[in-house]
Amino acid sequence: MDAREMKIKAAAVALEHVEDGMRLGIGTGSTAEEFVRLLAEKVANGLKVEGVPTSERTARLCVELGVPLKSLDELPQLDLTIDGADEVDGHLRLIKGGGGALLREKIVAAASARMIVIADESKVVDTLGRFPLPIEINPFGQVSTRIAVEKTAERLGLTGQMALRTSGDGLFMTDGGHLILDASFGRIPDAEALAIALNTIPGVVEHGLFIDLATLAIIAGPAGARVIDAKN
């Protein structure tokens, strides 16, 4: 299987967990989009679901394909969120935010009874950090916030370049109007400690460490799909 075929395989297995009448959180990114396409086929054939998208991009695709949507205020408690990840380890700790939707993704995941991660084998790591960690920051005081993040990283023994994400000729802006600081640590031995430390920095809106949120990961590879269960 090529990369897209693996994403479709993971999405198809995740779709088996979707039941009629569910309130779904619908993720962002290339793997999540394959799930939306498969979900739309089921909806066209009579499956009744209501979805809460984690980004404007996902919302547009859902509308285009006929997946019914609600806001999170209309459906504040969700049955299941299905989303991709930029990295996942054996304990279902994740790095997310490569697509810039980490704040909404985390809010939706936290509002869900369960979260299933869909990914291909390339996203599985022993230790998080190979993928740059996205840190969503407020534009106001961005330089001060960056310095605070750098000092926090140094205190935890983390090194590596940090750069504001760009798009075209300017800075990338999230759906919420924030900036993304990508931190290339290379390796994050204690993801929990870093998550707690980043949460104390006032200018940090959210970060891409998703800990204790995913309940299941469906990982597709050339030989098929395997499951990582948080219970194990």
What is the tens place of the pLDDT at every residue in 13-67? Answer: 999 999 999 999 999 999 999 999 999 999 999 999 999 999 999 999 999 999 9
Task: Tell me the average pLDDT across 67-92.
Answer: 97
pLDDT on residue 230: 81
- pLDDT digit string, tens, across residues 47-56: 999 999 999 9
How high does pLDDT run on average in the chain?
Answer: 96
Residue 199 neighbours by CB under 8 Å, 6+ apart: 207
Collapsing DSSP to helix, strand or coil, 22 comes out as coil
Kindly tell me if the per-residue pLDDT of 232 is higher than 90.
no
Question: So what's the pLDDT on residue 223?
Answer: 86
Which pLDDT score, from 0 to 100, does residue 194 have? 98
The CB-side HSE value for 16 (13 A sphere, CA atoms) comes to: 10
Residue 26 to residue 100: CA distance in whole angstroms? 15
Q: CA torsion 174→105→107→138, rounded to 10°?
A: -20
Catalytic residue of the set 33, 34, 87, 105: 105
pLDDT for residue 87: 97
Please indicate whether residue 34 is annotated as part of the active site: no
Concatenated DSSP letters for 152-181?
HHHHTT----EEE-EETTEE---TTS-EEE
Q: Residues 112-119: what's their mean pLDDT?
A: 98
Residue pLDDT, tens place only, 168-181: 999 999 999 999 99
Specify the pLDDT at position 2. 85
**Mean pLDDT calculated for residue range 147-162:** 97
Mean pLDDT within 84-112: 97
User: Rounded mean pLDDT of 187-202?
Assistant: 98
Q: Is the pLDDT of residue 231 over 80?
A: no
Structure tokens belonging to residue 54: 């984690």
Tokens representing 192 are: 């929990």
Question: Each residue of 81-95: pLDDT tens digit?
Answer: 999 999 999 999 999
